[in-house]
Amino acid sequence: MNLIYFLLRSSWGMVAIAIATGFLSGGSSAGLIALISHAASSSGGSRLTSIIWGFAGLAIVVLITSIISQVMLIHLSQNAVLQLRMRLSRQILTSELTHLEGLGNPRLLATLTEDIQAVANAVYQMPFIFINLAIVLGCIAYITWLSWLVLVLVCGISIVAIASCQWLLNRGEKLLALAREDEDQLFKHFRTITEGVKELKLNHRRREDFLEGKLHPTANKFRHHNVKGLTLFATTSSWGQLVFFFALGFVMFVLPNLLTINAETLSGYILTFTYLVLPMDNIISKLPLLSQASIAWKKIESLGLSLASRTEISTVSLAIKSNWHSLTFKNVTHTYYTVEEDNSFIFGPIDLTLYPQELVFIIGGNGSGKSTLVKLITGLYIPNNGEIWFDDNLINETNREWYRQHFSVVFSDFYLFEELLGLQNSYLDAQAKKYLQKLQLDHKVKVENGQLSTTALSQGQRKRLALLTAYLEDRPIYLFDEWAADQDPVFKEIFYTQLLPELRSLGKTVLVISHDDRYFHLADRIIKLDYGKIEYDKT
């Protein structure tokens, strides 16, 4: 039912047409069985001719309606999956950063890949399920037309079969739900493999501990739940077939002794039940797929609701301020919430004012709160208490997205895009070429139509490409988080003595997180942090 609602929400009109044509196709297929049954017992030439014309007409109806139903539902389902992917991606990008960090990358990736794919696989099968269901209902209608007493007997058997199958299905679905929970942990381990491959290759014992102590138990648990769940579904399928053949045997061998049935009616029953074997098997075989999709849909909805509860307004209604006078933080705090309350870390309160055309170094030991301050300054973290004023603008949920557009940032864990996205102008390639020369990358990287020729460079060179993007953004405030840590001594000197002063001379405010104390004398101002507090702020 969740999948049907998912499709109806996309376009209920197209779903209605597709389902109607699907049921018409299935009903026509059942009509063909009735005609075949009559033709087998018919001896009149004129009557046989009309049956042939009826057969041809129904066959054409089956073909046309089946194609229409499948094509419409395929288009509809793929559009719905596309909308689902885009909606979830937008929700992730508009949710608070602290909330996303709490959810963790493994869960987000598992939902974006595995869960959406599970829904897509099930939705793709919906046209065929509807058609097979229509065939079953059409055949039942034909059985009812032959004898309603037979229908009562068949329904009695069906109730027993459905009740027993439902019990097996419920147990199987619970096990598959447990397997889906295991999958989040598996994604976490897969991330360890991709991001920690060098460290794992360098230490044999660490690698074996990870493989045998972490990955294997989780993968084995995932396999165990999947095997038990899918085994119950396979048992359900076989049990359903057994009950179905029992019903067929009942009609063939028991029913003639209970009721007076002529040969034509009996042959109609047998033909109909025989024809039902394939659509019933098709429906039963799709039950694991539908259950997995139902579990995935619940995970998607759960994540969607979680993200929606922490959604930010993502519109930029005001123009970017090229001329500003002050950026002030008043009694700002930020709290990291952990499982154990005693281990919570409170950053702040801090009082700080930044001014245009300043070169500010932010220093402090590891864990002192430098990265947290960066995220608070740039608006990525929302203060738990206190206020941020950008000139006369109090920064809140209505203008935080606008406020963020004033910063160009290269984080220590930066992401490098292969295209210069969001920087459309007619001089982009020429500007990029000029900055590539300044960054000493013009011999390795070319830019054509905003596309970087390569990003397969050393870490230091990749950081220079990230700096290229920051230059091209041309925003009022620049922030560099341990940017020089991966540079060679020559370019590190260039960065501190040439690039930073040049940005300041262009009217930019430049904030630099650094441990390079030999260059601290170049700063207009130094802010030192210690355990989430400002130890000193001096010129």
> Mean pLDDT lowest for which of 31-45, 393-407, 509-523?
31-45
CB hemisphere CA count around 146 (13 angstroms): 33
Can you say how many angstroms the Cα of residue 355 is from the centroid of all Cα atoms in its chain?
Answer: 41
Please state the three-class secondary structure of 311-366 as a single string.
Answer: ECCCCCCCCCCCCCCCEEEEEEEEEECCCCHHHCEEEEEEEEEECCCCEEEEEECC
Q: How confident is the model over 227-284, as pLDDT tens digits?
A: 998 888 888 777 777 777 777 777 777 777 776 766 667 777 777 777 777 777 777 7
> Mean pLDDT lowest for which of 251-255, 341-345, 478-482, 526-530?
341-345
The per-residue pLDDT for 526 is: 95
Q: How confident is the model over 128-184, as pLDDT tens digits?
A: 777 777 777 777 777 777 777 777 776 777 677 777 777 887 888 888 888 888 888
398 or 20, which is more confident? 398
What is the rounded average pLDDT of the residues 10-26? 71
Q: Which CATH superfamily is domain 327-538 in?
A: P-loop containing nucleotide triphosphate hydrolases (3.40.50.300)
Residue 234 CB neighbour total at 10 angstroms: 15
Whether 294 and 360 have beta carbons less than 8 Å apart is answered as no
The per-residue pLDDT for 343 is: 59
The per-residue pLDDT for 161 is: 72
Residue 105: closest CA among 303, 295, 292, 298? 303
Q: How confident is the model over 178-202, as pLDDT tens digits?
A: 888 888 888 888 888 888 887 888 8
What is the rounded average pLDDT of the residues 23-42? 69
Q: How confident is the model over 215-224, as pLDDT tens digits?
A: 999 999 999 9
Q: Residue 342 above 60 pLDDT?
A: no
Residue 475: C-alpha distances to residues 114, 249, 423, 459, 469 (Å): 38, 80, 12, 24, 11
Burial (0-12, 13-18, 19+ Cβ within 10 Å), 110: buried
User: What is the helix (H) or strand (E) element at residue 478, kind and residue range?
Assistant: strand 477-481
**One fold for both 2-181+219-308 and 327-538?**
no
Residue 307: closest CA among 495, 163, 102, 100? 100
345-354, strands of its sheet edge to edge: 345-354, 327-336, 385-390, 393-394
Residue 365: C-alpha distances to residues 362, 368, 371, 532 (Å): 10, 5, 11, 11
Share of the chain above pLDDT 90, in %: 28
293 or 275, which is more confident? 293
Q: How confident is the model over 349-380, as pLDDT tens digits?
A: 999 999 999 999 999 988 888 989 999 999 99
CATH number of 2-181+219-308: 1.20.1560.10
Alpha helices in 362-410 (DSSP H): 370-377, 400-404
The residue extents of the domains of the chain are 2-181+219-308, 327-538
Residue 471: closest CA among 501, 435, 429, 522? 435
Whether 15 and 7 have beta carbons less than 8 Å apart is answered as yes
Written as six digits, the tokens of 90 are 């937008």
